[in-house]
Homo-oligomer: A and B are copies of this chain.
Amino acid sequence: MSLLVVGSVALDTVETPFGTIKEGLGGSATYFSTAASFFTDVQLVAVIGEDFPEEHIRFLKERKVDLEGLERNMGKTFRWQGEYGYQLNEAKTLKTDLNVFELFRPKLPTAYTKAPYLFLGNIDPTIQLDVMKQVVAPKVIACDTMNFWISGNRDGLLKTLAGVHILMINEGEARALSGEFNLVKAAKVILSLGPKTLIVKRGEYGALMFNDNKIFAVPAYPLESVFDPTGAGDSFAGGFMGVIAQNADRANISDATLRQAAIYGSVMASFCVEAFSLDRMRSLTQDDINRRYLAFKDLTGYEYTA
């Protein structure tokens, strides 16, 4: 079943201790839709400028991402520039040029309004809410946000959250949104704002999923070489929502399905960080994904009885 994502498509310039990439393919919606495309049909809503390279369009088409909702407007494509130290968890943003993204007010193609699954990437909560309203009968709505909106458009964010089923944010964002430092307390506050499920992303430490008084700990896959963490969170979200959409026929999403989705999220994030931009996704196969999913079993499994 179709999974609709709205977010950014960008050209990223990134420096890590292991190398530099200039104007590589990036953006939350790009990472999300590429990761999700290994599991389900994806409809992409985003904006690019006149200068957006055709090769990136070709890549997304090869991944069978539906691009009817990808607007091309006058002006330049959104650009982000950042750098990471050895502590790869924290990006330092050097420059953000919103360009065409600044005035982006998404209007969904008619076909998209029937999407049962929806991911609202990290954009202005007021726009997230507007997109939500354009979808006729969504089954599951997930979203991301950031401190800029938590402090800058809190009212808008609270309105969006009231209609959202799954929120995926990082530790600092969970603390800022809830006003609680302790994550278990933070989760209780956030789950009272609307979402039924909260996923707290913790970078190289994985994620915690809070759902119905249950907590699920998902590790990040320990890699010998983490090349560039850009897009890991969106790749997690893409793998997660891809698996949720795969289970479309189920009336209610069970805790078991949410847990599997979270593991696949971590699987997709682990591939994302192995190379710059979306480069690892270019050669990724279903077999690679299956093998790493199995490796997670080995990473977390133990026998209960001695």
Contact = CB atoms under 8 A, between A and B. Distances in A.
Contact of A214 (B298, B304, B306): B298
Interface residues of A, number: 38
B300 A300 contact: yes
Interface string A263-306: 10000000000000000000000000000000001111111101
Given A205-B202, A205-B205, A222-B184, A257 B306 contact: yes
A260 B302 contact: yes
A215 B182 contact: no
Nearest to A208: B222
A302 to B, nearest CB: 4
A219 B182 CA distance: 16
A181 interface: yes
B260 A303 contact: yes
B184 A263 contact: no
A202 B222 CA distance: 13
Contacts of A215: 222, 299
A259 interface: yes
A262 B256 CA distance: 25
Nearest to A255: B302
A259 B183 contact: no
Contacts of A182: 223-226
Contact of A303 (B205, B222, B259, B299): B259
Contact of A224 (B185, B223, B224): B185
A217 B299 contact: yes
Contact of A219 (B217, B246, B263, B298): B217
Contact of A223 (B184, B206, B223, B263): B184
A216 interface: yes
Choose among A86, A208, A222 the residue with the greatest number of B CB atoms under 10 Å from its CB: A222
Contacts of A223: 182, 184
Q: Which 8 A-B pairs have the closest CB atoms?
A: A217-B219, A259-B302, A205-B205, A184-B224, A86-B181, A217-B299, A256-B303, A184-B222
23 contacts: A86-B181, A182-B223, A182-B224, A182-B226, A184-B222, A185-B224, A206-B217, A215-B222, A215-B299, A216-B300, A216-B302, A217-B300, A219-B219, A256-B303, A257-B306, A259-B301, A259-B302, A260-B302, A260-B303, A260-B306, A263-B302, A297-B304, A300-B300
Given A260-B303, A260-B306, 5 more contacts: A205-B206, A215-B222, A243-B306, A259-B303, A262-B302
Interface of A: 86, 181-185, 202, 205-206, 208, 214-217, 219, 222-226, 243, 246-247, 256-257, 259-260, 262-263, 297-304, 306
